[in-house]
Structure formats: C-alpha cells, structure tokens
C-alpha cells in the first residue's frame, strides 16, 4: 500500500502540470549557479575581470588589448556620441531630459522591465523612444549613430556595477525566462546555442577567435571591433552571432534579443560596466 502511494506521488511529481514551471523561475538561484560555474572554472580570474571578455582568458591577447586601450581608436566614436548627446533636438529638448541623472552614468541600469508597456527596454530602445517622443526620427539599431551614442553613454558609466532589476511581475519573470531559454537553445546550421561557445568553451578557440565567457559578456557593449574597423551596436553583435552559427538573424531589438540581453545583464549584476570595449 505504502509503495503504491509513493509510486503514485512520484508519478504525480513527474507529471506536474506546466503551471508549476512559472513558479520555478528563480533568477536569484540562476544567478548564484551561473556565477559559481564561472568562478570555479576560472579560479585565477578576478571576478571583475570577466567583463573583459577574451582578455580575461588569454594573456597574449590581453597585452595587445592593453596597448590599444591605452589610447583607443573608439575615442572618435565616444567624442561623436558626446556631441550628439549634447546637441538639442529641433524642439529644444535634449536626451538629458528623457533620462534620470541627465542620462549620465546610467548604462548599468539597462535593460529594465517597463511595467506600463510590459516590454523589456534596452538602452538603445530607450534612446529611440526619447528621439520619437521629441519629434525626431529613430536611429537604425545597427548603424553608426546609435553606436556612437551608446558608446558615449557606456563611457560615462564605466566602472558602475550592473544593477538590473526583475520586478515581482509575472511578465518580467517570463521575459527573463525567455531570455534564458534563448541563450541555451541551439540554432542555426552549426546547431550552436549561445551557451555552446560562451558557457562550454570560454577561453577556447572558435576558428581564430578566443571565446569570451558569458559572465559579464554584455558589460563591454557597444564594441569597437578591429574586424569592423569601427564601433558597432549591441544589435549588430547579436545579429552577427546568429549569422556566425548560420542561423537567420532576428530584427534588431526583437523581443528575443531584448530578453537575452535582459537575462545576460542580470547575470552580470555587480560587475562593472567596461564599455565601450575594443575587441578583435
């Protein structure tokens, strides 16, 4: 009798209806597990160094990066971004009017979940919302203008620890969970997930590149890539990540991209903004 009961209970547990899945979203537990995984795998890497991507993994690359970063080529994009940021819109208002703290030193708070619209708002999206609210045309999420503007905003926030919030709202938790799922889902002809490279093989080589660890990977965005010969937005990087595994890229700032950025940013909580970053 007892055995039958235990068996029944076990079967019930295994056949738990989907509604319990939402209750099991536990960002704090994920956060701890994620951090533990990386710090245990790379015990010699100081926690804050993970934000330097491949340079936290390879000494030879690091030396080249330090030399370049001493007087970095993204200086021009940052200067352009500052000029854009300081220039008022046609209606006389400025970006500073749209953001807390006049838009200075706030990059570490993005993305955030907007309860009113039920959307995850990334910094790039917030900037375009600001533009449109003031009668300006939005910037292309993949092009230089957005790259320069976000480079400046990252620059004024350097060193500030990520402080991503997931409010106690089922929609926010769902967005976080979808982002996490996107991160771990295989896609494309190469059938890689983000995790295949950035969780299973950080420090390893994928063809000629050294893979960055997923912990802190968003901290350096936007990035100046030697390969691009210029500054590129978060969208551009996510799009090219998809292309690199031969998956059809999504539209810039697609909900899936925003969700995965939300997930990865939350995982980086406490780590310093290191952007804009120079990368190979």
Partner 1 sequence: MASTIRMRAVASGDTTEVQALVQHPMDSGFVKDAKGDLIPPHYIEVLEFQHAGKTVFTAFWGPAVAKDPYVKFSFKGAQKGDDLTISWVDNKGQSDSLVGKIM
Partner 2 sequence: MNNNAIMSKQTRRRDRLVQTRRTVIQGALAGGLAGFAGLVPLTRARAAADANKWPKDAFAQKNEADAIKALYGKTPEISDKVSLDAPEIAENGAVVPISVNTTLPGVTSIAIIVSENPFPLAASYPIPAGTAPMVANRLKMAKTSKVTALVESGGKIFSASKEVKVTVGGCGG
> Which residues are known to be catalytic?
241
Pick from 19, 60, 92, 189 the residue near partner 2 by CB under 8 A.
Answer: 60
- Compute the distance between CA of residue 84 and CA of residue 89 in angstroms, rounded to an integer: 10
Residues 61-80 that bind partner 1 (CB under 8 A): 68, 70-73, 75-76, 79
Residues 220-239 that bind partner 2 (CB under 8 A): 226-227, 229
Here the tokens at position 103 are 């838009």
Total number of residues shown for the chain: 280
Cα distances (angstroms) measured from residue 257 to each of 132, 169, 181, 194:
21, 20, 11, 12
Using the rule CB under 8 A, is 243 a contact of partner 2? Answer: no
- Compute the distance between CA of residue 154 and CA of residue 150 in angstroms, rounded to an integer: 6
Question: Among partner 2, partner 1, none, what binds residue 227 when CB lies within 5 to 8 Å by partner kind?
Answer: partner 2
Pick from 24, 87, 189, 208 the residue near partner 2 by CB under 8 A.
Answer: 208
Using the rule CB under 8 A, is 37 a contact of partner 1? Answer: no
Tell me the per-residue interface mask from 183 to 222 with partner 1, x by CB under 8 A, - otherwise. Answer: ----------------------------------------
**Which residues, 6+ apart, have CB-to-CB distance to 275 below 8 Å?**
107, 151, 154, 155, 157, 158, 219, 220, 221, 222, 223
Closest approach of partner 1 to the CB of residue 236, in Å: 15
The size of the interface with partner 2 (CB under 8 A), counted in residues, is: 16
- Compute the distance between CA of residue 23 and CA of residue 212 in angstroms, rounded to an integer: 32
Q: Which residues of 158-180 are buried (b: 16+ CB within 10 A; e: fewer)?
A: eeeebebebeeeeebbebbbbbb
Using the rule CB under 8 A, is 61 a contact of partner 2? Answer: yes
Cα distances (angstroms) measured from residue 243 to each of 35, 53, 106, 191:
28, 20, 31, 12
The size of the interface with partner 1 (CB under 8 A), counted in residues, is: 10
Question: Among partner 2, partner 1, none, what binds residue 260 when CB lies within 5 to 8 Å by partner kind?
Answer: none
What phi and psi, each to the nearest 5 degrees, are found at residue 74?
A: -80, 0
- Compute the distance between CA of residue 151 and CA of residue 105 in angstroms, rounded to an integer: 12
| Positions that interact with partner 2 (CB under 8 A) | 54, 60-61, 63-65, 67-68, 73, 207-208, 210, 226-227, 229, 280
| Positions that interact with partner 1 (CB under 8 A) | 68, 70-73, 75-76, 79, 83, 229
């Amino acid at each position: 009798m007892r055995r039958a009961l235990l068996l029944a209970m076990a079967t019930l547990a295994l056949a738990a209806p989907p509604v319990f899945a939402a209750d099991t979203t536990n960002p704090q537990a994920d956060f701890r597990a994620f951090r533990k995984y990386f710090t245990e795998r790379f015990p010699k890497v100081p926690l804050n160094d993970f934000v330097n991507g491949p340079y936290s993994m390879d000494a030879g690359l690091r030396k080249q990066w330090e030399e370049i970063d001493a007087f970095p080529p993204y200086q021009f994009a940052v200067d352009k971004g500052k000029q854009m940021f300081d220039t008022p819109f046609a209606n006389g208002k400025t970006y500073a009017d749209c953001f807390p703290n006049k838009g200075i030193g706030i990059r570490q708070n993005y993305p955030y979940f907007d309860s009113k619209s039920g959307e995850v708002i990334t910094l790039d999206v917030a900037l375009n919302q600001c533009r449109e609210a003031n009668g300006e045309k939005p910037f292309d999420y993949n092009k230089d203008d957005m790259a320069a503007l976000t480079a400046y905003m990252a620059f004024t926030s350097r060193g500030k620890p990520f402080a991503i919030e997931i409010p106690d709202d089922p929609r926010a938790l769902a967005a976080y969970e979808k982002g996490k799922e996107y991160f771990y889902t295989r896609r494309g002809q190469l059938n890689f997930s983000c995790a295949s490279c950035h969780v299973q093989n950080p420090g390893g080589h994928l063809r000629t590149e050294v893979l960055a660890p997923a912990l802190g990977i968003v901290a350096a965005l936007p990035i100046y890539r030697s390969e691009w010969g210029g500054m590129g937005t978060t969208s551009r990087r996510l799009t090219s990540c998809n292309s690199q595994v031969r998956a059809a890229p999504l539209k810039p700032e697609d909900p899936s991209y925003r969700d995965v950025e939300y997930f990865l940013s939350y995982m980086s909580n406490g780590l310093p903004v290191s952007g804009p970053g120079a990368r190979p």
